[in-house]
Amino acid sequence: MTKGPLARRDFRRLWLAGLISDTGDWLLLVSLPILVYQLTGSPLQTSFAFLVELVPAVLLGPVAGHLADRFDRRRMLVAIAAVQAVALLPLLVVRDRGDLPVLYAVIAVEAAMLALFAPAKNALLPTLVPDDQLVAANSLVGLNQNLGRLAGGALGGLLLTVDGLPVIVAADLVTFVVAAVLIAGVRAGTPTRDHTTPPDRPGPGGAFRGRRIRAGLAVAALAGSAQGIFAVLFVVWVARELGGGAAETGLLRGVQAIGAIGLGLLLATARRTPGPATLIAAGAGVFGLLSAAVWNGPAVTSALPVYVALFIVVGAPGIAMLTGLVSLLQQESTDGARGRVFGVFGAVFDGSSGAGMLAAGLLADRLGVMPLLDLQAALYLAAGGTALLLLRRPAPSALVGGRGHGVERDTERVAVHGHELRVVEEPFGAPVAGRGDEGPAADRDPAVGGEDRAGQLPGEVRRR
């Protein structure tokens, strides 16, 4: 029986560090906006705190990606965790409204460190597990984020109410220190590359020339816009359509993690998992259909238990889509460009979320809440449709090898060690003509100096 990702020491340390760090992130980023509201009583000041959390990810995403490709990722993650711990200390002097600039500064620094952390972690992970365990590994990472949200979010509000800010600072500081120690013990991974992979550190834009990478970023933009609309209008929908308040809003948001954790565990422990593109298309499509059902459900019933059940289910396609996106970008990017890909991915998603929030805030009174929520569902459906492009057969213009096989392929030319190779994009899931489906490992062997395999031309590399 094949051992899962957690059987690998270095991944296990990175995963545990991520769980502890995610809990600390949610502990802080939930409690600080609450504290802003307690000090000011102003919704505007509170919304500004959330905006300060969002801006660093948009501005620093591309920079974070370059750093993740330039420096040792393990050491970079350790350094980021250390900075996160030190940056908490100014919170100990916060006493009243006059200390708001200190609060905003700490929120900005912590959000900036989180923006640097994510691309480095996502770029490091594929070097710690084999390709066939990427989906399972990313499912475990997604599981972390939901467990961290459940534990850290609840603890943040509780500790702030009971013991105040100093206890939160102490607890969060411990999480960052423990995470840094765990990551420091991770041995340097081996890039999952082979001699047919294009050279690392491509020129400007080179990291994003792949069709699947561009499609993945398009999905991220659509899903981010939908998430932004949801973030602004969900509270309004609960109040107007269900007649609920803060308790009902918190309950529905919280139970989403149940579905996400359930599917995350299933993907992490399954002997075989769907491919990333399938997860993206199915996850986004089902998310859109469920969203449409939820938003329009009050026309039939406003019974809270019905929506608790629906929101539990909604958590599952969400983690499927995210797991598929991360796995896809990891597989389709080279090790030397992976950090930049994830830096841009974070910037695209968070930037689109900000645009969705802005659009919802400006248009809700003019167009109404329900039309915008229906648009949110449609955006997820569009994301699912875009993901289907990852599975389509390449255009007939890329027909190669007219030796009776009639296989349609995308082609591109790359230079490897001074030789020109033609990289062939096989249809996703299709067997290689003339020899059956021997699996990814066999596809990586180039034919050199003649027709080494049936249907494969000299200087040609098949890639799925």
Least confident span in 60-64, 322-326, 349-353, 445-449: 445-449
Q: Please tell me whether residue 422 adopts helix, strand or coil conformation.
A: strand
Higher-pLDDT residue of 413 and 299 is: 299
Strand partners, 412: 423
Given a cut of 60, whether residue 7 has pLDDT beyond it is yes
| pLDDT at position 190 | 55
Given a cut of 70, whether residue 56 has pLDDT beyond it is yes
| pLDDT at position 396 | 44
Higher-pLDDT residue of 31 and 43 is: 31
Q: Can you tell me which residue has the tokens 């066999």?
A: 442
- Could you say which DSSP state residue 395 is in? P
CA–CA separation, 355 and 39 (whole Å): 28
pLDDT tens digit sequence for 275-300: 888 999 999 999 999 999 999 999 99
Asked whether the whole model's pTM tops 0.85, one would answer: no
Q: How confident is the model at residue 444 (pLDDT cuts 50, 70, 90)?
A: very low
Mean pLDDT, the chain, integer: 77
| pLDDT at position 428 | 39
Are 213 and 332 in contact by the 8 Å Cβ rule? The answer is yes
- Could you say which DSSP state residue 427 is in? P
| pLDDT at position 205 | 52
The residue count for the chain: 464
Q: How confident is the model at residue 457 (pLDDT cuts 50, 70, 90)?
A: very low
Residue 353: which of 142, 138, 108, 53 has the closest Cα? 53
| pLDDT at position 180 | 92
pLDDT tens digit sequence for 74-99: 999 999 999 999 999 998 888 888 88
Q: CB-based contacts of 54: which residues, under 8 Å, 6+ apart?
A: 111, 350, 353, 354
Given a cut of 60, whether residue 6 has pLDDT beyond it is yes
| pLDDT at position 299 | 93
Q: Which of 129-138, 315-324, 450-459 has the highest mean pLDDT?
A: 315-324
Given a cut of 60, whether residue 424 has pLDDT beyond it is no
Q: Can you tell me which residue has the tokens 């047919």?
A: 196
For residues 407-412, give the mean pLDDT. Answer: 37
Name the residue type at position 133. Q
Domains of the chain plus CATH, in order, are: 1-187 (1.20.1250.20), 208-392 (1.20.1250.20), 396-463 (no CATH)
Higher-pLDDT residue of 240 and 399 is: 240
Higher-pLDDT residue of 297 and 416 is: 297
pLDDT tens digit sequence for 225-266: 999 898 878 888 988 899 887 667 767 877 888 888 888 888
Which tokens go with 222? 């659509």
Given a cut of 80, whether residue 3 has pLDDT beyond it is no
- Could you say which DSSP state residue 239 is in? I
Given a cut of 60, whether residue 132 has pLDDT beyond it is yes
- Could you say which DSSP state residue 6 is in? G
For residues 18-30, give the mean pLDDT. Answer: 81
| pLDDT at position 442 | 39
Strand partners, 423: 412, 461
Full DSSP string of 258-311? HHHHHHHHHHHH-SS---HHHHHHHHHHHHHHHHHHHHHGGGT---HHHHHHHH
Full DSSP string of 154-219? HHHHHHHHHT-HHHHHHHHHHHHHHHHHHHHTPPPPPP---TTSPPSS-STTGGG-SHHHHHHHHH
pLDDT tens digit sequence for 150-209: 777 667 767 776 767 888 888 889 999 999 999 999 986 555 444 334 444 444 455 566
Q: What proportion of the chain, given as a percentage, has pLDDT over 70?
A: 76
Given a cut of 60, whether residue 364 has pLDDT beyond it is yes
CA–CA separation, 276 and 429 (whole Å): 12
| pLDDT at position 464 | 40
Given a cut of 90, whether residue 409 has pLDDT beyond it is no
Q: How confident is the model at residue 41 (pLDDT cuts 50, 70, 90)?
A: confident
Neighbours of 97 (CB within 10 A): 14
| pLDDT at position 400 | 41
| pLDDT at position 375 | 96
pLDDT tens digit sequence for 305-343: 999 999 999 989 999 999 999 999 988 888 888 888 888
